[in-house]
Amino acid sequence: MNRLAEWTLQRPIEDVDEKLPANAQAGDAAAVLKNGNPSPVAGTGKLPATVPLTPVRKRLRGRFWIGLVAVLFVAGGAGFYWWKHSQSQLPAGISYGNGRLEADEIDIDTKFPGRIAELHADIGDMVTAGQLVARMDTRDIQESLRKAQAQVKQAQHTIAEANANLEQQRTQQTLAAQELDRTQALLKNGWATKELFDQRKQALDGANAGLSAATDRVAEAERALEASEHDVGLYTVNINDNDLVAPRDGRIQYRISNIGEVLPAGGKVFTMLDISYVYMDIYLPAPEYGKIKVGTEGRILLDAYPDAPIPAKVSFVASQAQFTPKTVETQIERDKLMFRIRVRIDADRSRVHAASVRSGLPGVAYLRADPNVVWPKNLQGAP
């Protein structure tokens, strides 16, 4: 940069109507910058015109953006060419679609309203089916349980008393029957009166009625005992249901509540991922969808593991089309209606690789509609 340009950048820009003559020499420019002040150009007696900096900056900025757009365009074109070239390597009979790896989410909720007393798991923990992960405060239910247990004991005593009364009534009924038989024999020989016979008969009828009532009281006491025992069972079940356990093997994904919080019935405490049900949903246009059926063999290739194709199978094929989600890239841009297909990884394989199971990993699922087609080398995967 010459001294004239340096002076232009350092000094404030002034509006000058005149222009530097075309025949001005380099010596004239030097004269202008003498002692740091502008001087009349030799031979003209006029000040030199300064070049405004703003238009220069705008031109430079415009060139920069044009160059950047050109670089991005070239890079995008190269990426698109590579993508098309890689997809063109797929043999006929293999379809593919973009998606995200998902696992079934299971909410671990409360059955009854209550306060969280204990937590035995946290985010990221691997849990097994039946493992205790949280415990609710059950002091009120435990008191109800003790009350029901006391009622059971009371019903047992009532049954014992009813049985004793029944035995007494049975004895009285036996005695009344014997007395009636003797009176009837005496009546035939004229040694007893008809009045005495009637009294013995009425005594037997009363004994039979007392026996029947005693029998009913025993049955009633037994039913009361059964009701109390059912109450004990109910409270025991409720207490056990307040111990929250993992329903399946999986990983704790979220902890929604903390110790001491009071939750309503159905309040969420944890959300876990079922590692035995891992899948990817993809969307295919009608020409490709028609070739796919449940059981079609597939491969899932995750962006995070591009060299490790995962064997899978189609477990669901939608019967109705739907509009393409925003997150799905389509090969044919004019296709607006797509069919959802679920590609599921084998449950045993998912359990073996449980530590690597994550939800939300993007990737591509490839489906082999024609079983006679050989998988490309990069999709063959482990047997």
Residues 214 and 351 in one domain: no
CATH of the domain at 291: 2.40.30.170
Residues 15 and 33 in one domain: yes
Q: Is 112 or 13 the better-scoring residue by pLDDT?
A: 112
Alpha-carbon Rg for the chain, nearest whole angstrom, is 47
Residues 194 and 255 in one domain: no
Residues 116 and 162 in one domain: no
Residues 219 and 361 in one domain: no
Is the predicted pLDDT of residue 4 greater than 50, yes or no? no
Count how many domains the chain has.
5
Sorting pLDDT into bands at 50, 70 and 90, what band is 189? confident
Residues 252 and 130 in one domain: yes
Residues 125 and 261 in one domain: yes
- β-partners of residue 297 are 313
Residues 274 and 367 in one domain: yes
Token readout for 202 is 């009425």
Provide the pLDDT for residue 181.
87
DSSP state of 276: E
DSSP state of 324: P
**Tokens 């920069």 label which residue?**
64
Token readout for 237 is 């079940």
Entry pTM: 0.60
Residues 235 and 158 in one domain: yes
**Nearest residue to 138 via CA among 208, 226, 239, 58:** 239
Amino acid found at 280: M
- The CA distance from 288 to 317, in Å, is 12
**Strands (E) located in the chain:** 94-109, 114-119, 126-127, 132-136, 243-245, 250-255, 262-263, 268-284, 297-302, 305-317, 322-323, 337-345, 362-368
List, for residues 71-114, the tens digit of each pLDDT value: 555 555 544 444 444 444 678 889 999 999 999 999 999 999 99
Provide the pLDDT for residue 141.
95
Residues 354 and 311 in one domain: yes
**Structural domain that includes position 21:** 1-52
Residues 251 and 288 in one domain: no
Residues 188 and 320 in one domain: no
Percent of all residues in the chain with a pLDDT value above 90, rounded to a whole number: 44
